[in-house]
Amino acid sequence: MGVEPTIFVVDDDAGVSRALASAGALLGHPVRAFASAAEFLAAYDPAAPGCLVLDVKMPGMTGLELQRKLADDGVRLPVVMVSGHADVRIAVEAMTLGALTLLEKPFRLDELMAHLRTALARDAAARVAAERQDAAAARLAALTPKEREVLERIARGATNKDIAAELGLSVRAVEDRRARLMKKMDARSVADLVWVISATGDPGA
């Protein structure tokens, strides 16, 4: 069983934490609240799925500073920013750093829940895509250099005859390599193969 997606809250406003606890209960997700960015950074495991509700203004590291650090560290947890002092500059910076939205306090519970649903769905989709990418990359890494030579030419649309001529091989040898690499890549057609290659994000494949 996978880890339950969690709604992480970093806000020194106890009222926001109470609202998030209510939203989490209604959505069926646990809520973990932190009063500062330092507390969150000390406890958060980047492998944990979920989303982050982040206040802009806090003592110590601000919400925007925490958002920037997470982005620099490669943490892609979807962020819902909240603020009682939002302005255009803050909104633009938050969105530039990848925030899903910026809600101005006091916000409506239904509005918050709608954004939390979107953030949790976005995180789940991103994690599935990352798992597929890792699996595809593992299949690609299992190919020998000779199989990879054939793969690169198949991806360019070359026929077995074209590949044989280009590599100085017999058509039978190309067919053998092609059969082996198709099995390793778990592909039953060229379309499957192209999908696996594209999933790796490897432009050289």
Beta bridge partner(s), residue 103: 82
101: helix, strand or coil: strand
How much is the pLDDT for 177?
A: 94
Among candidate residues 93, 109, 131, the one where a domain is terminated? 131
pTM of the model: 0.76
pLDDT, tens digit, for every residue of 28-65? 999 999 999 999 999 999 889 999 999 998 888 999 99
Structurally, the chain folds into a number of domains equal to: 2
Q: What is the CATH number of the domain that holds 196?
A: 1.10.10.10
Distance CA 78, CA 18 (A): 20
Among candidate residues 86, 102, 131, the one where a domain is terminated? 131
pLDDT, tens digit, for every residue of 89-131? 888 888 888 899 999 888 888 899 999 999 999 999 999 988 8
The yes-or-no verdict on residue 147 having pLDDT over 90 is yes
Task: For residue 110, tell me if it sits in a domain.
Answer: yes
Among candidate residues 131, 155, 188, the one where a domain is terminated? 131
Task: For residue 136, tell me if it sits in a domain.
Answer: no
Domain around 43: 6-131
Distance CA 132, CA 75 (A): 18
Task: For residue 119, tell me if it sits in a domain.
Answer: yes
Distance CA 11, CA 1 (A): 30
Task: For residue 71, tell me if it sits in a domain.
Answer: yes
Beta bridge partner(s), residue 147: none
- How far from 80 is each of 45, 54, 167, CA to CA, in Å? 18, 6, 54
Residues 151 and 181 in one domain: yes
Contact 123, 49 (CB under 8 A): yes
Residues 24 and 102 in one domain: yes
State the DSSP string of 35-73.
SSHHHHHHH--TTS-EEEEEES--SSS-HHHHHHHHHHT
The yes-or-no verdict on residue 4 having pLDDT over 80 is yes
Query: How do the residues of the chain divide into helix, strand and coil, expressed in percent and rounded to 5?
Result: 55, 10, 30
